[in-house]
Amino acid sequence: MSHGVQRKLSIADFAVEEPIPVADPAREASSSSRNAPDATADDGPLRLEIEVHDAETAAELREHPAGRARQAFAEQALRIGVLALRHARGRIDADLIRRESQAMLDAMRERMEEHARGVNDRLTASLRDYFDPEHGSFQQRITALVRQDGDLEQLMRRQIDGEDSQLVKTLAAHVGQQSPLFRMLSPEESGGVLEAMRGTLDAELQKQRERVLKEFSLDNKDGA
């Protein structure tokens, strides 16, 4: 906007004895909008005295005769300017909200990506510490388990090797000298299997002996 030294236009150039309505849609919209932000407390006429320095604006105002015509033109131009500024301010507010929202979304996206990278790094480090072929805790545990004199060998020794092994103790409990099976098979045990077989055989032999003697007895008329 260019500036220049122009004649000072006072309110006298626009003043009239009484306010004269102008048949203009913008003016009618202004009159119907009593709660608009630019309205005064009593919604009455506002006396405004301005000094115009813009050459183009001053030249345009001079195109209208002083009085009603100039006042109507100035009021219409002022109304249009106010509406344009209000619209521009709304656009600026919308752009500001859009920029702030986008900045918030970008910051949130960056935080989420940073969090995802952190989780991935921690997970990778944990897996590497556990499954590393040389220094991983899993490999160390497997080595300690299967190496010579390792945990597995010591466990097997406790189970099957030596007089005190679990296998020896289990076999001794089931087939050892003190086991029920050994006592049943022992010839020295009165309640054992061999003793029972001996008793059965002795009984059968005794029956056979008595039968033979009866056959050859002189008292047996039916005998041989």
Sign of CA dihedral 102, 106, 111, 117: positive
Q: Which long-range contacts (CB under 8 A, 24 or more apart) does 62-71 make?
A: 66/13, 66/14, 67/16, 68/16, 68/20, 70/13, 70/14, 71/14, 71/15, 71/16, 71/20
Which tokens sit at 151? 């945990």
- What is the token pair recorded at 37? 């932000």
Confidence of residue 117 (pLDDT cuts 50, 70, 90): very high
- Per-residue pLDDT reduced to its tens digit, 32-52: 333 444 444 567 788 878 888
Residue pair 58/9 in contact (Cβ under 8 Å)? The answer is yes
Tell me the pLDDT band of 23, cut-offs 50, 70 and 90.
Answer: very low
Residue type, 135: H
C-alpha–C-alpha distance, residues 60 and 64, integer Å: 7
pLDDT at 186: 65
**Residue range 190-224, pLDDT digits in tens:** 566 667 777 788 888 888 888 877 777 666 666 55
Does 151 score more than 60 pLDDT? yes
CA geometry: angle 12, 75, 88, nearest 5 deg: 135
| Burial label, 14 (beta-carbon count in 10 A; 0-12, 13-18, 19+) | buried
pLDDT score of 122 more than 90? yes
Q: Hey, which bits of 49-192 come out as E strands?
A: none
Domain ranges for the chain: 11-102, 149-215
pLDDT band per the 50, 70, 90 thresholds, residue 109: very high
Please tell me the predicted confidence (pLDDT) of residue 222: 66
Helix (H, G, I), strand (E, B) or coil at 9: coil
d(CA 205, CA 182): 27
What distance in Å separates the CA atoms of residue 73 and residue 63, rounded to the nearest whole number? 10
pLDDT at 13: 44
Compute, in degrees rounded to 10, the torsion defined by CA atoms 19, 22, 27, 31. 50
Instruction: Report the pLDDT value the prediction gives residue 60, as an integer from 0 to 100.
Output: 87
Instruction: State how far the alpha carbon of 190 is from the alpha carbons of 172, 175, 186, 197, in Å.
Output: 21, 18, 9, 11
Q: What distance in Å separates the CA atoms of residue 103 and residue 99, rounded to the nearest whole number?
A: 6
pTM of the entire structure? 0.32
